Structure 1
Amino acid sequence: MLLPLKNFKIILGLCVGICILFMYISQSMQEGKILTIKTPRWLSAYRDPEFNNSMEGKNKTFTSIVEVNDALRLETKVRVLCWIMTSPKTLYKKCKAVKETWGKRCNKVLFFSSQTDANFPAIGLNVSEGRQHLTEKTMMAFTYIYHNHLNDADWFMKADDDTYVIVENLRYFLSSKNSSLPVYYGHWFKPFLKQGYYSGGAGYVLSKEALRRFGKFSNKSCVKAGHYEDVDLGRCMDKLGVLTGSSHDDQGRSRFHCFDPKTMLFRGFPSWYLEYDKYGAKKNNMSDYAISFHYIAPANMYLLDYYVYHLRPYGLYKRIHEAAHGKL
């Protein structure tokens, strides 16, 4: 029995449509395979609309750039005091780079050494130099800040003189936190303490309440000297009821880093790190709003500063400039 001409045309049209759809899906899958092969695994985290050339992507980029004004707003709303642990030998090498790059973006920056240097300036602590004295240095520095600068900031960040911090991202992260609560944040390590502790090299930031408790009760609860600064400070915070917490972004990507960007990008981690990291390094794709990196040589401080604050992709700089000056 022959089908009516009308039904035959409908069936033929459906067949043609299915064939075209099949060809389209096959081509899309093939393109996806090629992209997966060519793209490094760590880069896959950055394949989102903000980085493509579609109109939708451009609109989303435009919207995010408008928010650049938030950095200026947060500078007064989220006050951060940064203090840098250094030594007389590295003050005019490493700390000079810190002072001329990221340090100037803190609301207040202090440099602590074993000797006073009024010209730099650096605050001298009554402590000997050497890794075995880092705990003593840290405890004395926080004590000094408690007595002299408690009301100058809402958050108090400790960093080494080879740590690079993107202060705007630090403020952005802290803007959703309460400095009146006993908390501190950093690159989370899990051994030795039930609640863990934070890497000294990546830097850690104490809330105002955490510093207040330290200033009032550390003499009774915390060691004045020890062998491992970050573990000793973590144990001190634990005894004072100061809590640790995650600093990962909403996609589970890390913000504080105890290694340099190259190590984090290519995941060349030593075995101890895989054991120490709170998440077993499984979630260490870096956040778009990364806060800190460690083991940064002075020359690379300036290099990072150029990449973060000066390098601009053509076609976006005008938008950023206009947004920053309220012309959008």
Structure 2
Amino acid sequence: MDGEYITVENPSAFGAASSGKLRAAPRIRTNHLALLTLLLVSLVIILYAYWDVMVLTAGALPLARVAISSSRDPNDSNETLAEQLYREVRILCWVLTTPKYHKTRAVHVLRTWGKRCNKIYFMTSEPDDELPTVVLTKPDKYEVLWGKTKEAFTHIHEQMRDQADWFLKADDDTYVFLENLRYMLYPYSPETSIYFGFNYKMVGNHQKNESYMSGGSGYVLSREALRIFAEGQNDTTKCRQEDDHAEDVEMGRCLFNLGVKAGDSRDGQLRNRFYPVAPFVALLSGNMGLDFWLYKYAYYNARSCMDCLSEYPVAFHYVNNEQLYVYEYFNYQFQLAGRQQVPERLPKRIREEDLVIPESDNTVT
């Protein structure tokens, strides 16, 4: 015999031959069995590797259902609210980053919340094959963030203003819920000169009701606000021409002087939707004392309690790359058995002439 065999014999399963002897059961070579096992194992490994690659790279691609929704019939009854908002409230996101953070921060933004922007660009000083980058001329220095912000918004206005209705600036350690941002922006026309974020009080000498938006949790300009800024930021009487000083403060001062409204981003119960720190600061009253800087500088009274943060938050700051995926899981994959679904309706449109922006109510000094 030229090989070993495994003989399978079961008298109850095989009939007797006419000679009264049992027929020999099928015999399988052990080397054939080993080869078959090896092929099956290889197939499993290949399929698992393919699945793993698809999972890792999926974040860098637009969501399939969202991409499809942008070309759907507006009367399609199967369209979700998020898909309708994606189509009707177009947001261009731009993220301020540097080459040293491309792989540790920026790419993870692209794989998480960034894929839900209608368009997204990373403003940096060097190109990157993994990222849709715009290379700025300003140096990679914290001291010139204001200069980089001016250059970025000017470039967007000159080259990309037709790609969106609203234009969001965010840092590479920010997490943004695009669906909630679109929901918040839906009532406002992009032709209204307004911008939104987490409002801070101006310190020192300033005009009445002058405020600025936190650069950390991001701020979003309407198309009209973008135009006014791009065309007016060279006015030396209204906007700082030097590149230094705090970017968000100078942006707020410049937009205020140009007549762009600082919108109130809080929800109907006056709860914050943009937040310049982690969620627990807003939720746990005993975590911070009244001398915490946020309570002092917030334009609107900042409180901490389990009901003080909006149920539809828009953005948080100081989110590292690991936390980006935690936010992603608990908001786009996590399911709670038995949770009652809340009916969602689009808010009413607000005419510019009916727009009312409350004054500051924060008396903490």
TM-score by length of 1: 0.73
Deviation for aligned residue 1:179: 1.1
Question: SS at the partner of 2:95?
Answer: strand
Aligned to 1:135, what secondary structure does the other structure show?
A: helix
The one-letter amino acid of 1:241's match is G
Q: 1:173 — aligned with what?
A: 184
Q: Which runs of 4+ in 1 moved over 4 A?
A: none
Kindly indicate whether residue 154 of structure 2 is the aligned counterpart of residue 131 of structure 1.
Answer: no
Question: 2:199·2:298 contact (CA, 8 Å) conserved in 1?
Answer: yes
Report what 1:263 is aligned to: 281
- Tell me what 1:313 maps to: 336
Deviations 1:59-109 (A, max 9, x none): xxxxxxx99921110101000001000011111111111000000001000
Q: Mean Cα displacement is larger for which, 75-84 or 117-126?
A: 117-126
Greater share of helix:
1
SS at 2:262's partner residue? coil
- Structure 1 position 228 matched with structure 2 position 246: yes
SS in 1 for 2:122: strand
2 CA distance for matches of 1:68 and 1:245? 30
Contact 2:283–2:304 (CA<8 Å) still a contact in 1? Answer: no
| CA distance in 1 between partners of 2:144 and 2:319 (Å) | 22
Distance 1:282 1:119, change over 3 A: closer
Shift of 1:143: 0.6
Q: Which one is further off, 175-184 or 290-299?
A: 175-184
CA contact (8 A) 1:156 1:205 kept: yes
Aligned-pair Cα RMSD in Å: 2.1
Q: Give the superposition deviation at 1:226.
A: 2.2
Alignment match, 2:27: none
Distance 1:138 1:67 in 2: 40
Cα distance in 2 for partners of 1:190, 1:308 equals 31
- Kindly provide the CA deviation profile for residues 188-211 of structure 1, in whole angstroms up to 9, marking residues without a partner as x: 101234421100001000000000
The one-letter amino acid of 1:183's match is: I
Distance 1:118 1:219 in 2: 33
2:239 maps to amino acid? C
- 2:98 aligned with 1:87: yes
Tell me the CA shift for residue 154 of structure 1: 0.6
1:283 is displaced (CA, Å) by 7.4
**Structure 1 segment 1-328 matched on structure 2, within 5 A:** 69-192=80-203, 193-194=206-207, 195-220=210-235, 221-224=238-241, 225-267=243-285, 268-269=287-288, 271-282=292-303, 285-316=308-339
Name structure 2 gaps, 5 residues minimum. Answer: 1-76, 343-365
Q: Which amino acid aligns with 1:293?
A: F
Which stretch of the first structure deviates more once superposed, 283-292 or 100-109? Answer: 283-292
| Secondary structure class of the residue paired with 2:94 | strand
| Alpha-carbon distance in structure 1 between the residues aligned to 2:255 and 2:244 | 15
For residue 310 of structure 1, report the CA deviation from its aligned partner. 0.5
Comparing 192-201 and 138-147, the one that deviates more = 192-201
- Aligned partners of 1:144, 1:118: CA distance in 2, in Å? 20
Using the TM superposition, give the Cα deviation of residue 280 of structure 1 relative to its aligned residue in structure 2, in angstroms. 3.2
Which consecutive residues of structure 1, in runs of 5 or more, have no partner in the other structure?
A: 1-65, 321-328
Provide, for residues 109-162 of structure 1, a one-character-per-residue CA deviation record: whole Å limited to 9, x for no partner. 010012233442322111112221111111110011001111111100000000
Equivalent pair of 2:282/2:303 in contact (CA under 8 Å): no
Share of identical aligned residues, percent?
39
Contact 1:187/1:256 (CA < 8 Å) preserved in 2?
A: yes
Q: Judge conservation of contact 2:120–2:132 (CA < 8 Å) in 1.
A: no
SS in 2 for 1:314: coil
The alignment covers a number of residue pairs equal to 254
Greater RCO, CA 8 A, separation 6+: 1
DSSP 3-state at the match of 1:109: strand
Structure 1 distance, partners of 2:339, 2:311, is 17
- Letter of the 2:228 counterpart: R
The question of whether the paired residues in 2 share the 8 Å contact of 1:254 and 1:283 is answered with no
Question: 3-state SS of the aligned residue for 1:219?
Answer: coil
Distance of 1:89 and 1:255 partners within structure 2:
30
SS across alignment from 2:196: strand
